[in-house]
Amino acid sequence: MSSFDDVIGSQVRDSEVPRKALSGPSELRIWTKSAGRCVLCAAYLLENRTERYHTTKVGQVAHIVGATPTAKSPRNLGDLTRDERAYEQNLLLLCYPCHRMIDDADNVEYWTEARLTLRKEEHEARVLRATDFATLTQAIVITTEGAVRGNMVQVPPRQVMHALIEAGLITHVDGGHRNELTIKLQGDPSKPYYWESGRDQIDTIFGRAVMAAETGKVERLAIFAMTPIPLLVYLGSRIGSKLATTVFDRHRDDAGSDSWAWRNSDHKPSTFEIMEGQEDPQALEVLTVVTVTGSAKRGVLPEGLSALPTIRLQPADGDPRPGLVESVADLKSAKKAWTDLLAKIENRYPAVQRLHVIAAVPASVAIHMGRERMRDAHPELVVYELLDGNYVPTPPITDARRN
C-alpha cells in the first residue's frame, strides 16, 4: 500500500493476511509513468500548494488484483503470491474516487483485471508519447466557440490534448503562453450579419496564426471546429496551402477524452463516387451536392437552383451516414474525391463562374473543400446553410475577399 494513503483515507484492510509494502522506488516509478495523473479520469494528483517545501499528493497507488489473497480482496483471481501482487505491473495510479469506484463490490465485475490493465497501459503509453518532445511537432491550435443548432458548443481542452498526442502534435508555447486561438461566433445564423461577423472572426484569428507561424518555430495548424458548414469552408479557403494543417473531427459515438482523436481503422478506407450531370460548356453556374454524413433531401432548394447542371459526390457503397470519415485514410479518400470533382467541373463546364454547394459533411471535409479551391482557377463558391427546412445561400467565397 502506498505511504500516502493516509492523506486521503484508509482502505478496507484484511487483518488476517498482511500485504506487501510498496517500496519507495516502485512508488516513484508508478507516479512518474502516469505523470501524476489518475489513470482513469486524468485528474491531476499533485496539489499546487506546498507544505514545508513538499507538494501534497492526493492520490493512491492501487492494486489491480487485490493486495491480499482473500475473499474480501477485489479481483482476487488466479494464484498470485503476496509479493507478485506488489509488482509494478499490478499497480496503477488513481485518484481516491476512482480507487473507491473500482473496488466497490457492485463494480468489480466491470472493472476486471484485463480492463484495468489495458487502461493502465494506454495511459502510460500516452504519457510517454506526450513527453517525447523531440518527436512531437509543434502546432498552433485553433478551436471554435459558438451556437450549433441553438446550443453553445466549445471543444473541451482535455479532448484537444488527447487528439494532439495521438496525432504526434504538441501545442506551441511562445514566451510561456500556449498558442491556442479561439474563433468565437455569436449571433443568429438566419441574419446576414452573422456570416460577415463570422468571417471577420476567422480572418482575425487566422491572421494571428500566420504571424505566429512566421517565427519559424511552428510547423502546423491543428483545427478543432464545430460551426456551420459555410464558415468551415470559408476557414479552409483562408488556410489554403499556406500552412500545413491537421483537421480533427468529433466522433459522435464517443463522449470520452478521445472524442476528437482520429481512429486507427483496420478496414478499407471509405470510398466516394461522383455522379456527373449533363455536360454544358456554356453553363455559368453549377449545383454541387456533397453528401457524406446526411442527405440533401432534408431541405428545400431555392427557386431555380434545381434547374442548374448538377454534379454529385456521395458514398460509393451505400447511403450517406455518420461514421464514414473516422480515420485519416477516410479523410484522404474524401479529399481526393472533392479534388476530382473540381477537375471534372473544369472539364465539363469550362465557362462556369459560380459553384453552388449543398453539403452534408463532417468538419474536416468541409474545411478541405475550402482549402482545395484554387484562386484564379476555380469558380467562386456559394455554400448553403439549412435553416428552418430551407437551404439559404451565404456570401460567396471569392478571390477578392482578403485573399
Do residues 283 and 368 both lie within one domain? yes
Question: What Cα–Cα distance (Å) separates residue 390 from each residue in 89, 282, 299, 384, 393?
Answer: 58, 28, 5, 9, 10
Do residues 106 and 192 both lie within one domain? no
- Classify 271 as helix, strand or coil: coil
Q: Look at phi and psi of residue 125 and say left if phi exceeds 0, alpha if psi is from -120 to 50, else beta.
A: alpha
In tens, the pLDDT along 322-346 reads 889 999 999 999 999 999 999 999 9
Q: Report if residue 39 sits inside a domain.
A: yes
Decide: 63 and 14 in contact? Cβ < 8 Å. Answer: no
Do residues 195 and 294 both lie within one domain? no
- Classify 325 as helix, strand or coil: coil
Strands 137-148 and 180-185: parallel
In tens, the pLDDT along 245-273 reads 999 999 876 666 778 999 887 789 999 99
For residue 305 the three cell numbers come to 437552383
Decide: 245 and 223 in contact? Cβ < 8 Å. Answer: yes
> Whole domain around residue 49: which residue ranges?
5-130
Decide: 274 and 340 in contact? Cβ < 8 Å. Answer: yes
Q: Report if residue 50 sits inside a domain.
A: yes
pLDDT at residue 54 tops 70: no
338 contact partners, CB below 8 Å, separation of at least 6: 290, 313, 365, 368, 369, 372
Do residues 185 and 243 both lie within one domain? yes
Q: Report if residue 145 sits inside a domain.
A: yes
pLDDT at residue 354 tops 60: yes
Which of 233, 248, 263 terminates a domain? The answer is: 248
Do residues 236 and 283 both lie within one domain? no
Residue with cell 455559368: 284
| Strand stretches in 86-136, DSSP E | 91-94
Instruction: Tell me what the mean pLDDT of segment 174-199 comes to.
Output: 84
Q: Report if residue 253 sits inside a domain.
A: no
Q: Report if residue 398 sits inside a domain.
A: no
Do residues 60 and 177 both lie within one domain? no
Instruction: Tell me what the mean pLDDT of segment 380-400 comes to.
Output: 91
The total of other beta-carbon atoms located within 10 Å of residue 248's CB is: 27
Strands 137-148 and 151-154: antiparallel
296 contact partners, CB below 8 Å, separation of at least 6: 289, 358, 360
Decide: 325 and 313 in contact? Cβ < 8 Å. Answer: no
The total of other beta-carbon atoms located within 10 Å of residue 373's CB is: 22
Do residues 126 and 199 both lie within one domain? no
- Ranges 91-105, 124-138, 231-245: which has the least confidence: 124-138
Packing angle, helices 157-166 and 113-130, rounded to 10: 80
Decide: 233 and 291 in contact? Cβ < 8 Å. Answer: no
Q: In CATH, what number is assigned to the domain containing residue 366?
A: 3.40.50
Q: Does the predicted model carry a pTM greater than 0.75?
A: no
Residue-level pLDDT at 399: 75
In tens, the pLDDT along 289-315 reads 999 998 878 789 998 898 999 999 999
Q: Which residues on adjacent β-strands are paired with residue 139?
A: 171, 220
Do residues 166 and 124 both lie within one domain? no
Q: Report if residue 262 sits inside a domain.
A: no
Decide: 306 and 287 in contact? Cβ < 8 Å. Answer: yes
pLDDT at residue 106 tops 90: no
- How buried is residue 45: exposed, middle or buried, by Cβ count under 10 Å (0-12/13-18/19+)? buried
Q: Which residue has the higher pLDDT, 18 or 395?
A: 395
For the chain, what's the residue count?
403
Which of 106, 130, 154 terminates a domain? The answer is: 130
Q: Report if residue 49 sits inside a domain.
A: yes
In tens, the pLDDT along 210-228 reads 888 887 777 789 999 999 9
Residue-level pLDDT at 191: 87
**Total domains, the chain:** 3
